[in-house]
Structure 1
Amino acid sequence: MKRYLALGDSYTIGEGVEFDNNFPNQLVRALNNEGVNIGLEKLVATTGWTTQELLTAIEADSFNAPYDFVTLLIGVNNQYRQKNTDGYAESFEACLKKALSFVANDIAKVLVVSIPDYGVTPFGKYDEITSLQVDDYNRINRGITAKYNIAYADINPVSKCAKDDTSLLVDDQLHPSAKQYADWVAIILPTALELLN
């Protein structure tokens, strides 16, 4: 069985949904349905983490590397706290290098996921400025990901559907519901299949 490591924050752990319905677990089920024998071996993610906090947690944890697949989704809390991109490029690249280290630097085993647009949510107060700031963060993480020739799954556009469909959010009116995570997985799955086959 292939071994999957998921790195991130609330969007990876699945704040507000059953653990089995976060996107890593939904992705595992979708991959298994496509004939890929893979399991989520480890998830390192906590609600509220910035890039630096993820790096600190990685340093304090233990890992049974190399893994066969790693996803990385991190940065929304940098934006939420700072409102600007200061330091994000450097710390995101450090996170990406850590992800690579867990797959013996095999770029074909890492997948970066974009930051969703929480500016369109009731919690985000339907704030276009927030949405534009998240776009700026995604331009940074996408550019760095491309520099390393690593795969990138852009779930940001589909996350914007939450503006008109509250069933895509959990009770806090911020985090994705299992339904929205299923939409993410539909976007992530084709690239994951390419990497894992």
Structure 2
Amino acid sequence: MKNQILIAVAVFANCLFTACSSENQITEKKPTFLNENIANTTPNSIDKVITRYHTLKYLALGDSYTIGQSVCETCKFPEQLQEALRNTNTENNFSLKVIARTGWTTNDLINAIDVQNPATNYDLVTLLIGVNNQFQNIDFAVYEKEFSYLIDRSIAYAKGNKANVIVISIPDYAYTPYGQLSGKFDTISAEISLYNAYAKKYCDENGIAFSNITTISQNGLTNPSLVAIDGLHPSETAYTLFTQSIAPKAAVILNQ
């Protein structure tokens, strides 16, 4: 019975990684006022109050790790990051746009942003992409080429300022029940490491912020609470830890 359950987890997780979900995974959050005084402002003074506030726009680009596959809508890291940043930007409002879908490769994300053509006035852009290139055994050279294109687009969306961009490392799904059952633990971990090493080197050489959250995901076997119910993706707890790692860099960007 135990083996049957583990096999079921592996099959379900494989489906998730190959974008079998039919849900609409591209979401956008409307600006939220942070000061309740605005809600209580009389019509005669509303214009004066609004001029005191600025809407900080955040664009999150990625795949299942960005959309938050298998966790609640507010559990994914972009939502948690936005909430955390409110604590250091209490005089501002926030607007979050997420362009991500389970199973997306770098090419899929490129096609999506080319179609959607996001604005070029975002105060913060995060990019987390590449796991599905690895999962689908796509030639690594494709990632190298398309990652640089996605960096260029991210900078363009971030007001043309690379200082407003954060690249986030790929979680290591070898440290999940699915990774254990795959029989490819060492291969998965080594290949994820290759992708992350390339991304970090690229960012270091080009002066772009890089946030390493992979080490957190590598505690998934000793701390099962870091893995979502599907046995593959990060849990809400893991996303909270990711957010704690990313938030300091994001706060610097938004407070500059």
Q: Report the TM-score, using the length of structure 2 for normalisation.
A: 0.74
Alignment of 1:143-154 (within 5 A): 143-154=201-212
Give 3-state SS (helix, strand or coil) of 1:123's partner: helix
Structure 1, unaligned stretches of length 5 or more? none
Q: Which residue of 1 aligns with 2:135?
A: 80
Structure 2, unaligned stretches of length 5 or more? 1-54
Q: Which residue of 1 aligns with 2:187?
A: 129
Q: Which residue of 2 aligns with 1:33?
A: 87
Output the CA distance in 2 between the equivalents of 1:136 and 1:92.
13
1:21 and 2:79 aligned: no
1:117 and 2:172 aligned: yes
Deviations 1:86-143 (A, max 9, x none): 3211111111111011023201110000001001111112712211110000011111
Q: Which residue of 2 aligns with 1:142?
A: 200
Deviation at 1:40, TM superposition (A): 4.0
Deviations 1:37-75 (A, max 9, x none): 352431000000000110001111142321111000000
Alignment of 1:161-176 (within 5 A): 161-176=219-234
Aligned partners of 2:120 and 2:160 also within 8 Å: no
Aligned partners of 1:85 and 1:136 also within 8 Å: no
Instruction: Output the amino acid matched with 2:69.
Output: E
Change over 3 Å in CA distance of 1:107–1:38 after alignment to 2: farther
Aligned partners of 1:6 and 1:40 also within 8 Å: no
Output the CA distance in 1 between the equivalents of 2:103 and 2:63.
6
Q: Which residue of 2 aligns with 1:9?
A: 63
Taking only aligned residues, the RMSD between alpha carbons, in angstroms, comes to: 1.4
**After alignment, is 20-29 or 55-64 more displaced?**
55-64
Highest Rg: 1 or 2? 2
Instruction: Output the amino acid matched with 2:217.
Output: S
Aligned partners of 2:129 and 2:170 also within 8 Å: yes
Q: Percent identity?
A: 38
Output the CA distance in 2 between the equivalents of 1:38 and 1:155.
27
Deviation at 1:84, TM superposition (A): 5.2
Output the CA distance in 2 between the equivalents of 1:35 and 1:131.
37
1:57 and 2:115 aligned: no
- Count residues in correspondence: 197
Aligned partners of 1:111 and 1:151 also within 8 Å: yes
Q: Which residue of 2 aligns with 1:105?
A: 160
**After alignment, is 61-70 or 185-194 more displaced?**
61-70
**After alignment, is 38-47 or 50-59 more displaced?**
38-47
Aligned partners of 2:82 and 2:96 also within 8 Å: no
Output the CA distance in 2 between the equivalents of 1:104 and 1:64.
9
Q: Report the TM-score, using the length of structure 1 for normalisation.
A: 0.95
**After alignment, is 126-135 or 68-77 more displaced?**
126-135
